[in-house]
Structure 1
Amino acid sequence: MRARWLTAAGLFLTLSALSSPSPTAASPSVAARDTFADVPGNALSRRDGDHAHAPAHNHNHKGTVLAELNETEILMWHQPTPPSYYTIDWEGEGDPNETRHPSLMMAHIVFMSLAFFGSLPIGIVLRSVKHPAHGAAMISFYGFSALGVSSSMLYNKMTPNMYDGSVHGKHGYFVLVLALCLSAVDIVAGFTRLVSFIRSANKSIKVFWQYVILNQSTDAHSQGPEYAGLIAEDPEEYEIAKLGVPHSDDSPDSPDETEQWANEVHRHHNRHSSIVSDRTLFGNPTRSHSSDTLNETAKQNSRTAGGWAVYIGQAVFAVLERSLVIAGFGMVLTGIVVYTGGCRQSWVNGCLAHLIKGGIFWCYGLLTFARFLGSYAELGWAWNRAPKGSKYTAEFTESFVIFLYGVTNTWMERFGASPGDPYTTKQVQHISIAVMFWFAGLVGMGIESKRVRRWLASSTFESFSNPTDMPPEAITEPPSYLASFNPFPALVIGVTGAAMAAHYQRYLFQVQIHSLWGNMLVAFSVLRCLTYFFLWLGPPKSILPSRPPTEALGSFFLACGGIVFMFSTEEVTIAAMRRGRDDVMMFLNVAVAITCLAFCWTLCMVALKGWLKSRTHSNVTYRSSNISA
């Protein structure tokens, strides 16, 4: 296996060397300009809608790429850049006699970062494992948020308004109100426990602390007085089904070595269970009766409307709670925009497009890295076999998101155009990419459908003219059916990167930045295909995350490409050229540093959750796999 990964690394480096542009080919448009220098201007075909500064994309030009900034041309399409909070705090613009307070803004940034990227994700992790310290984490979240809001209010009182129409504060208050609404669920649950404690016979301080404050079940409150002497056990101790992928259409007939090992671990874990409560509660010492009883009860509860309502409510709560972290990331972007005075007037459409789309690739990269670390292993999304089966694969989810992205962006590309305006070249470029997302996502979802796969495999039996000639026994599926090998998500990302790397820009620096993040998306696509290649040779057989190194590299390129995507917005690149910061290496290094910081944060959160879960499964042991030469 090591030889395979070394081969992949060599292949990737070779592809990178072949795809790297030479210095002489950095600007094809400049070379073309020199070649056709003697050709009259009206002999060159004009391109419509490609002018970088025209708000309506209706200015014609000859497609030349400029190396130096043309301020006169910029002012033809954009108003002069007004002062911002950043310029009056750090560059001395405005009234020099007025005292500035950038330290208050720094305090706001620090406190809100600790709240949304420290206390909040830790609280979510603690809730996921039902840890009693979840309440303390959420209290610290609201404490940091209060300090951050207070410092922001003081800053606004002492600083003139430099950004008319800002909604950053309103969005922040909305996110905090949503967090309070979610915390209200915990408050109601705590009040319910308090009422139950008051009505109970045992009103000791120990029971109050464990049951009401820490939300830890006690015998007197969880089982009633008739079962007060019994030992509380996990429902998983009554499982009779073998731990492994359940027998289904996607599973082989005979268990493999991994399932046998997993069952040995499971039996080792079950040896520590209590037989007393098993006999007392169910009246039968056999483990099968206990398992059947619990399974039937679970099935009956799942069929009831109340059971479905609880399940849907829990799912909605989990999605909303985790979306608070993404909302915090969105608040970081809008806060930077407001503080630096960006995305105003005619810049707004391009700014929003780069921030939203780049933010999507950024989050996609972080989630891909989390999958590499082992997140979603219970669903089989960590390049492993699902322990209990999964209805939807990770590739199906990726294809669905790609489809949804394409559907929405197909119609958004005409924003700002007047009715009856012809489609410009740039609009055709972007709409065609959105349509690719749309239908490639549909193809990806179709490939992931088990029913569609059976339809596609039905042509195998056309050679049997007589139905009686069909093989009576079950047909063994190939090992490749154990995993999903869907290249369409990677194909979509790779084609998008290749197209954007060749996207026309007005200035050479903008061409280089777009080429940088476009090639990063292509690198992710190549690495994802290499992952599929090696997993095709040896599909995952273990329920443990396999952690293919190509996914670690691919997720890094994807996340870093998303950051550079956001950096490549026209207003940012022009501001960099004005200040002499138009250096591609600087942009790349900043993006790499931010990505490494975010990956470290992701590793800490995933590791914390794994450590907390390992404390509840301390009896599980691991066996090293045999390494063949």
Structure 2
Amino acid sequence: MRVSIPTAASLLMALAISFQGDGSHGHGHGGHHAQPIVELNETELARWHSPTPVSYYTFDIEREGDADLKRRPGFMIAHIILMSLAFFGALPIGIILRSTQHPAHGVPMLAFYSLTAVGLAASGIYKKATPNLYEGSVHGKQGYFVLFLAASLSAVDIVAGVMRFVSFFRSDDRTFRRFWRYVILSQEVDTRLQGPEYTGLIVEDPEEYEVHKLGRASDDSPISPTEDETEQWANEVHRHRHLRHASLASERTLFGNQRSNSSDTLNEAAKEKVTLRTRLLKAGQFAFTVLERSILLTGIVVYTGGCRESYVNGCLAHLIKGGIFWCYGLLTFARFLGSWAEYGWAWNRNPTNFKYTAEFTESFVIFLYGITNTWMERFGAKAGDPYSTKQVQHISIAVMFWFAGLVGMGIESKRVRRWLASSTFSSVGHTPNAPKDAVEEPASYLGSFNPFPALVIGVTGAAMAAHFQTYLFQVEIHKLWGNLLVGFSVLRCLTYFFLWLGPPKSILPSRPPTEALGSFFLACGGMVFMFSTEEVTIAAMRRGRDDVMMFLNLGVAITCLAFCWTLCMVGFKGYLKSRSHSGVTYRSHPVAATTTQTA
């Protein structure tokens, strides 16, 4: 039986119509052919949502609720400032110092716990003085869990610090200088091994002992020219080693240079144990980072009274998805600055042959997002409900993420690339004496040019810019952040275009300027995405704040602040690493050197 193309198209259209049901959207203001409403209709809004209850923000700032109750917004402001300094100031600095093995990493961690304790005290006072205006809040429980996780990750340092403090308190020398060096910086050596009687006790290496034997044997035997040269060489080696050991006399004593006699098997087991510990620590740090960032969102939601009752699904969708784009933009900016250059992720040559590229990671995250979000679009729908137009739209976008992520991962696979290139070998013909590596890779193989992550983000932005909304202001906000995502996609494609013309040849970060602009567009688009929740837009319309420029400027300001914070953190880590590797440098480009000399 033959089916014509028009007949098949008609069947697909009928299937889509049966899926979407009545085509309702938003609050039920007709189908997608209806014009967006300019002014807020409170009567129609009350049909779909309950009246907005009093929140902590409206209670403190707008003076809603019981007028006889005293407001204590100062304690909440103190809580916000102290916790921000703790989680976005002291904690990142402590993590950076810890990653570079800096002896002062305990100082910012001590400041972190101190600021957190005072911030929790301010929050406790605020709760006692303010009625409960958000039933079922989990912000406090989540915060305590994050603090417990932070204490668990730094438990080793905490125990070591407590032991040093107890040892300092029991010692005779309790000066502030020793407290700072021993307890805080953990730099002081045991004083029992610093007396003059231990200064000359240096353990000689076996090679040095053999040199002494060689020198004594040469005194009792006739000296031939060859033996004379050997003795001179041995004496030079001995003198060099003696000078080196003498310079380390204050550090290497008879009690401090014992060598381990463990076997190779035990060494391998120790390496595996360290690797497992490192992986677990990194997994814990990743979970801690995600929970730490989510605390900020839950705190804002609880204080402003958002995501309640019928708003919860849409609110969570906008906050989670917008937060993903926001973090994606910050990570892209960190790549531009040079983060993860050791993996070849900073638009540079891979110095360590790390097998996963940045594009593979992006494609994997896109795939994971799509495969999970496909089934979440029906949350809140009852069994047997037809698929609405909105659900078909969002499920289609999720499926695009799903399979585009798979394609992106496949392109990044070296094995798949070899399979795709194998067809060219048969066309060349079989040459018996040709080496296996006779075919040279093109210059484009030096980099990863995978447009699918940018394609997914760009199509999502274009689709959401055309997304139907009930009110005109909501349409404009969606168009704003949709165009920002499209801008990122275009700039990422320009990055690939320029790098295709000149692939990176150095292990240093190349810093394409298109990535700096693209990361800003992406992060700002994610921020405006979070602003575009139905609850926020309705609140803005009620207060006469439905101004697109205000939303854009607010998103730009927050993004610039976050980029400045990222630059400070990445720059501080780079400064510490440059001090520990001060002997490593790089030469300037010939063009730059010539320009400098001319100037």
Q: Normalization by structure 1: what TM-score?
A: 0.76
Structure-1 separation of matches of 2:321 and 2:264:
44
Q: Does the 8 Å contact 1:47/1:63 carry over to 2?
A: no
2:38 and 2:471 in contact (8 A); partners too:
yes
1:97 paired with 2:57, answer no
Question: What letter is aligned with 2:522?
Answer: L
Amino acid at match of 2:393: Q
Q: Does 1:133 align with 2:104?
A: yes
Distance 1:465 1:405, change over 3 A: same
Aligned to 2:420: 456
**Counterpart in the other structure of 1:71:** 42
TM-score when scaled to structure 2?
Answer: 0.80
Question: Corresponding residue for 1:608?
Answer: 572
AA matched with 1:160: P
Letter of the 1:83 counterpart? V
Report the alpha carbon displacement of residue 166 of structure 1 after superposing the two structures with TM.
Answer: 0.9
Question: In structure 1, what is the Cα distance between the partners aligned to 2:60 and 2:183?
Answer: 49
The residue number in structure 2 matching 1:626 is 590
Q: Does the aligned pair in 1 maintain the 2:107–2:184 contact within 8 Å?
A: no
Distance across 2 between alignment mates of 1:552 and 1:522: 15
User: SS of the residue aligned with 1:528?
Assistant: helix
Q: Does residue 537 of structure 2 align to residue 563 of structure 1?
A: no
Contact 1:362 1:560 in 2 (8 A): yes
How much does 1:309 deviate?
3.2
Amino acid at match of 2:27: H
Per-residue CA deviations over 1:49-103 (Å, capped at 9, x if unaligned) read: 542136xxx9767532111111111100000111111111111211212210001
How many residue pairs match? The answer is: 522
Distance 1:110 1:457, change over 3 A: same
Please tell me whether residue 428 in structure 1 is matched to residue 392 in structure 2: yes
Name the residue aligned to 2:449. Answer: 485
> Is 1:320 aligned to residue 284 of structure 2?
yes
Q: Does 1:180 align with 2:144?
A: no
CA distance in structure 2 between the partners assigned to 1:323 and 1:211 by the alignment:
32
Which of 124-133 and 326-335 deviates more?
Answer: 326-335
Closer/same/farther in 2, CA of residues 301 and 141 from structure 1, 3 Å limit = farther
Label 1:60 to 1:481 Cα distance change in 2 as closer, same or farther (>3 A). Answer: closer
Corresponding position: 1:308 with 2:282: no
Q: Which amino acid aligns with 2:488?
A: F
| 1:123 to 2:97 alignment | no
- Pairwise mapping of residues 257-272 of structure 1 onto structure 2 (< 5 A)? none
- Correspondences of 1:276-425 after superposition (within 5 Å): 276=241, 304-425=268-389
How far has the Cα of 1:472 moved from its partner?
5.3
Distance 1:488 1:155, change over 3 A: same
**Quick check: 1:158 aligned with 2:129?**
yes
State the 1:204 CA deviation. 13
Work out which of the residue numbers 214, 221, 224 in structure 1 matches 2:185: 214
The equivalent of 2:236 in structure 1 is none
> Does the 8 A contact of 1:219 with 1:227 survive in 2?
no
| Cα contact 1:47–1:60 (8 A) shared by 2 | no
User: How far apart are residue 435 of structure 1 and its match?
Assistant: 1.0
Q: For 1:212 and 1:568, how far apart are their aligned partners in 2?
A: 50
User: In the aligned structure 2, how far is the partner of 1:228 from the partner of 1:511?
Assistant: 80
Residues 194 and 105 of structure 1, relative CA distance in 2, 3 Å threshold: closer
Aligned 8 A contact 1:120 1:325 in 2: no
1:39 is matched with: none
Q: CA separation in 2, counterparts of 1:303 and 1:73?
A: 72
Cα drift, residue 308 of structure 1: 2.6
Aligned partner (choices 19, 23, 26) of residue 52 of structure 1:
26
CA contact (8 A) 1:371 1:382 kept: yes
> Per-residue displacement from partner, 1:581-618 (whole Å, max 9, x unpaired)?
00000000000000000000000000100111111111
- The runs of at least 4 consecutive aligned structure 1 residues that moved more than 6 Å come to 191-198, 203-209, 217-222, 225-228, 277-280, 299-303
Following superposition, the deviation at residue 314 of structure 1 comes to: 1.4
RMSD (Å) for aligned C-alpha atoms: 3.6
- Given candidates 454, 478, 501, the residue that maps to 1:537 is 501
Whichever of the two has the greater Rg, that structure is 2
**Aligned positions of 1:467-616 closer than 5 A:** 468=432, 470=434, 473-616=437-580
Q: What is the alpha-carbon distance in structure 2 between the residues aligned to residue 149 and residue 195 of structure 1?
A: 27
Change in 2 beyond 3 A, CA 1:275/1:175: farther
Q: 2-side partners of 1:614 and 1:161: how far apart?
A: 51
Tell whether the 8 Å contact from 2:32 to 2:468 is kept in structure 1 after alignment: no
Gaps of 5+ in 1: 1-45, 232-273, 281-296
C-alpha contact (below 8 Å) 1:219/1:228 kept by paired residues: no
Aligned residues of 2:21 and 2:386 also touching (Cα < 8 A): no
Report deviation, 1:312.
2.6
Residue aligned with 2:421, SS: helix
Superposition deviation, residue 345 in structure 1 = 0.5
Runs of 5+ unmatched residues, structure 2: 1-19, 205-238, 246-260
SS of 2:432's equivalent in the other structure is: helix
Cα distance in 2 for partners of 1:277, 1:380 equals 43
1:542 Cα offset (Å): 1.0
Aligned-residue offset at 1:393:
0.8
SS class of match (1:411): coil
Q: CA deviation at 1:322?
A: 5.0
